Amino acid sequence: MTVPPGINFAGQHRIGGLVLFDADIELPGGQWTCLLGRSGVGKSTILRLILDLETGGQFAGSITATDGAGLAGRISYMAQSDLLLPWLSVIENVCIGARLRGEKPDTTRAADLLARVGLSEHTHNKPNTLSGGMRQRAALARTLFEDRPVVFLDEPFSALDAGTRADMQELAAEVLHGRTVLLVTHDPSEATRLAHQIIIMSAQDAQAWPVPDTLPPRSIDDAQTLACQIRLLAHMRGIAA
């Protein structure tokens, strides 16, 4: 697979004349970047700005891909809300992007992804029959189905129990290997397991946090991973205070 583009983001975002953040972030091509920071600092806004979606504020800066091409059509996005269409079945929701583009969806691949997220018995159910965690897994399957070189994940595992969360982290790491991934999370352990690069965001700047020298996804009980997680959690608590 051709190495996907990296993304360079630099600029200031204001809401109502007040600066929400001023950040300079580089997303290396083919790697996972995990973005952490206190609630309301603008992590999700970074994703929306790169996606050219409405943010309710004003951005002054630049957003460029390292290959010089536009990013439109090259990013798969999983929002905090599952955004499942209630009148479609689960498998129809997974395939919705292809249908909207006028393409014939690969329903075999969609069914395989649903099996891998543990929803094979619910493929023809409507979203209102699913729990919150099941809906989130359906949204993850839809995002993985899109098969884009760049993937944005905004708190994609937040509704899952600990065991399922670890399973879905490993599935996402496997399927998205070699892609450029930006993961917004509040979970230091999640970032430490999955990231090639961890960025801690504040209103003033965005700073890199050292990651273990092992490759992700890292074992949950790896000593370096645990040590990094503990230091990162302590730092985040200090920011929140």
48-62 pLDDT tens trace: 999 999 999 999 999
Residue 132 tokens, joined: 């919150």
CA 203 to chain centre: 21
Q: Which residue matches tokens 């905090």?
A: 80
Q: By the 8 A CB rule, do 153 and 172 touch?
A: yes
DSSP state of 231: H
pLDDT for res 241? 42
Q: By the 8 A CB rule, do 59 and 11 touch?
A: yes
Regions of the chain short of the pLDDT cut 50: 241
Q: Which residue matches tokens 């801690």?
A: 200
Q: Is 137 helix (H, G, I), strand (E, B) or coil?
A: helix
Domains of the chain listed by start with CATH number: 7-74+148-240 (3.40.50.300), 84-147 (no CATH)
Beta strands in the chain (DSSP E): 7-15, 18-27, 32-36, 58-65, 75-78, 150-154, 180-184, 197-201, 206-209
pLDDT for res 240? 54
